Amino acid sequence: MPPRLIKGLLASLVAGGILLAALSWWWAQPAVAPPDLSALEGSSRQHIEEEQRASRSITRSITASRTEKAAAWGRLGEIYMVYVFRAAAMEAFRVASTLNPADFRWHYLYAEALDDLGETARSAPAMADALTAMQHDERVRTADRIAALCFLGSVALRLNRPADARRTLQLALDLDPAQPFALFSLGQLAARENDPKAAIDYFRQAMQRMPGRREILIPLADQYRRLGDTAQAAQIAQGLKAEGTAQPLSWPDPIRVSLNDLNHSGSRQARLGLDLLSQGRWRPAALHYGAAVAAEPNNALHRARYARILIALDMLDEARSELAKAHQLAPENEETRELHTLVLAMSPQTFDEALSTAATWHREKPESLEALRSLAEVQFRTAHFEEALATLQQVATREPAETDWHSSRARVLAALGRYREARQELATGLRASPNDPTLKLNYARVLACSNAAEGRDGKLALQLSRDLMALQKTAIRMESLAVALAETGQFEESRRLIAEVITIVGDDAQTSMVRRLNGELRAFEAKQPYRERWLFEDRK
């Protein structure tokens, strides 16, 4: 055999071997089953697919280092995590933490992903690995360490490992002596071990950082009962029954929070918008809903809610345009129909159209309470007050247990100048539902701001407003207290309070609210109580 041929053969063998080795190596790469994206909205799917491609280009590269591959898997895990593909996220983080055990972030997120999946016991060693890696990493912030320790404390509590929980939580307190979750959890441990005095001490310390949190007040009251101090327990528990949705006490998790922006979905934008709305921040909420509509243009719900915000911001033309599109997408959607009639009822030029649209809806859907309510609203806004009262009576007959119609009737009565009846209406409603905060707020408003003396009772308004503030301090409740204070002649206090509300809500509130707040401020500065014909449509 000619030497050249032998050489060629050898070279081919070597090249083939290298190719074979490369192929085996390529196939031996860790695999994470990609989740099914078919049910996702288009923009989200596109985003994830782009990330998958980018990740693949690194994880399958022969030249990329283990650290780079770990980062690629980690990034993909983050994307899966924020889009709630929990199993895929967990797998991606597992691979990332295996490829680069020195990076605390992959262990940390692997632990959280496991916990998200209910794999609590498995999550703890992963978080312990994260703490190990944190020791040698300059990027680590104290808040990250505290979060990791609180996570481990929480896991140990849930797994009933009290000694471990205590040690870990104490370590968190070494880093932040007032860390409320750690203090609260140590209180729980003390309560579990029948040491009410120690539990009370921890709970009280936690309350210093988080005053008024019912999640702390309730177990605190329990511990006083254990000590036989029922009076103290009752005092603490007072007011707890009235209202308020509890959120589990947790700890700041900066690493997890930093991932949120990776989620580009319309539903996340809508959730963010909703959160802002609950804080009375309408303008930034509009931006998020606008983004939700852009990400998911065929979602009628997003469009309808966007339109609702635009209405509140007096952007009626834009609202009409959104509602027209929403109506096209979901012609039977009641929210869209309600908003459509509302927007018509907001301009005198379209009053007649508003009335006929609302009447048609009610005729088409006589069983729909929304149609009936909408008709009443349009009748009110177009000054057909007696008709509005009659329509609201139908609402009351059909749903006596609901409370909204009391407020709506009272509003119409006030508009008619029948303030005494408006008061009675709200008082009746409040007797039936003594803990309804909206009724209480509206009642306080009538009592403080009615045009006629027969509608007013400053002392009662003050009492109702203070009750509401004791339960939860919000801008609207502060405003209620301010007008009640002014009605009882305490102008300086009311001026100070309303100025604070204006600062809190800034320019983000509903346009009508901003207008009203400024009117109230002017009145209080002139040492006069605030008077209005009482339209509390923005108070629902």
Footprint on residues 365-424 left by another protein (CB under 8 A): 367-370, 372, 398-399, 401-403
Minimum distance from residue 445 beta carbon to another protein (Å): 22
Q: Is 161 in the site for another protein (CB under 8 A)?
A: yes
Residues between 44 and 83 that touch another protein (CB under 8 A): none
Is the CB of 130 or the CB of 505 nearer to another protein?
130
Minimum distance from residue 254 beta carbon to another protein (Å): 18
- What is the CB neighbour count within 10 angstroms for residue 435? 12
Q: Is 265 in the site for another protein (CB under 8 A)?
A: yes
Is the CB of 202 or the CB of 385 nearer to another protein?
202
Helix boundaries (H) for 296-368 = 300-312, 316-329, 334-344, 351-364
Minimum distance from residue 51 beta carbon to another protein (Å): 17
Is the CB of 184 or the CB of 524 nearer to another protein?
184
Is the CB of 85 or the CB of 530 nearer to another protein?
85
For residue 6, what are the contacts with CB-CB under 8 A and spacing of at least 6? none
Nearest Cα neighbor of 88 from 475, 96, 302 is: 96
Is the CB of 155 or the CB of 389 nearer to another protein?
155
Spatial distance between the Cα atoms of 413 and 419, rounded to a whole number of angstroms = 6
Q: Is 312 in the site for another protein (CB under 8 A)?
A: no
Is the CB of 82 or the CB of 485 nearer to another protein?
82
Minimum distance from residue 122 beta carbon to another protein (Å): 8
- CA angle at 168 for the pair 162 and 171, rounded to the nearest 5°: 140
Find where tokens 């509390």 sit: 536
DSSP string across 376-429: HHHHHHTT-HHHHHHHHHHHHHH-TT-SHHHHHHHHHHHHTT-HHHHHHHHHHH
Find where tokens 């009335």 sit: 355
The dihedrals phi and psi of 31, each to the nearest 5 degrees, come to -115, 135
DSSP string across 24-64: HHHHTS---PPPP-TTS-HHHHHHHHHHHHHHHHHHT-SS-
Find where tokens 């936690």 sit: 206
Is the CB of 4 or the CB of 139 nearer to another protein?
139
Query: In whole angstroms, what separates CA 362 from the centre of its chain?
Result: 34
Residues between 443 and 482 that touch another protein (CB under 8 A): none
Q: Is 215 in the site for another protein (CB under 8 A)?
A: yes
Site string for another protein, 111-130 (x = CB under 8 A): ------xx-xx--xx-xxx-
Minimum distance from residue 495 beta carbon to another protein (Å): 36
Burial grade of 249 (CB within 10 A; 0-12, 13-18, 19 or more): middle
For residue 294, what are the contacts with CB-CB under 8 A and spacing of at least 6? 266
Is the CB of 117 or the CB of 315 nearer to another protein?
117
Is the CB of 206 or the CB of 286 nearer to another protein?
206
Minimum distance from residue 325 beta carbon to another protein (Å): 16
Q: Is 38 in the site for another protein (CB under 8 A)?
A: yes
**Is the Cβ–Cβ distance between 399 and 393 less than 8 Å?**
no
Q: Is 97 in the site for another protein (CB under 8 A)?
A: no
Q: Is 24 in the site for another protein (CB under 8 A)?
A: no
Residues between 342 and 361 that touch another protein (CB under 8 A): none
Q: Is 36 in the site for another protein (CB under 8 A)?
A: yes
Is the CB of 68 or the CB of 399 nearer to another protein?
399
Given 35, 273, 290, 429, the residue binding another protein (CB under 8 A): 35
For residue 113, what are the contacts with CB-CB under 8 A and spacing of at least 6? 77, 81, 86, 89, 90, 93
Is the CB of 174 or the CB of 352 nearer to another protein?
174
Q: Is 336 in the site for another protein (CB under 8 A)?
A: no
What is the torsional sign of CA 401, 402, 407, 412?
Answer: negative
Minimum distance from residue 125 beta carbon to another protein (Å): 4
Given 59, 100, 267, 442, the residue binding another protein (CB under 8 A): 267
What letter does residue 347 receive in the DSSP assignment? S
Site string for another protein, 225-244 (x = CB under 8 A): xx---x--xx--x--xx---
Q: What type of residue sits at position 3?
A: P
Given 168, 179, 336, 510, the residue binding another protein (CB under 8 A): 168
Is the CB of 125 or the CB of 519 nearer to another protein?
125
Is the CB of 169 or the CB of 483 nearer to another protein?
169
Find where tokens 């209480």 sit: 440
Given 84, 102, 383, 470, the residue binding another protein (CB under 8 A): 84
Given 135, 142, 349, 503, the residue binding another protein (CB under 8 A): 135
Spatial distance between the Cα atoms of 444 and 439, rounded to a whole number of angstroms = 8
Site string for another protein, 424-443 (x = CB under 8 A): --------------------
Nearest Cα neighbor of 100 from 139, 124, 130 is: 130
Given 191, 285, 339, 471, the residue binding another protein (CB under 8 A): 191
For residue 108, what are the contacts with CB-CB under 8 A and spacing of at least 6? 126, 127, 130, 144, 148, 255
Helix boundaries (H) for 84-161 = 86-99, 104-116, 120-134, 142-158
Q: Which region among 55-63, 150-158, 386-394, 407-415 touches another protein (by CB under 8 A)?
A: 150-158
Q: Is 210 in the site for another protein (CB under 8 A)?
A: no
Is the CB of 222 or the CB of 454 nearer to another protein?
222
Given 30, 34, 162, 252, the residue binding another protein (CB under 8 A): 162
Q: Site size for another protein, by CB under 8 A?
A: 84
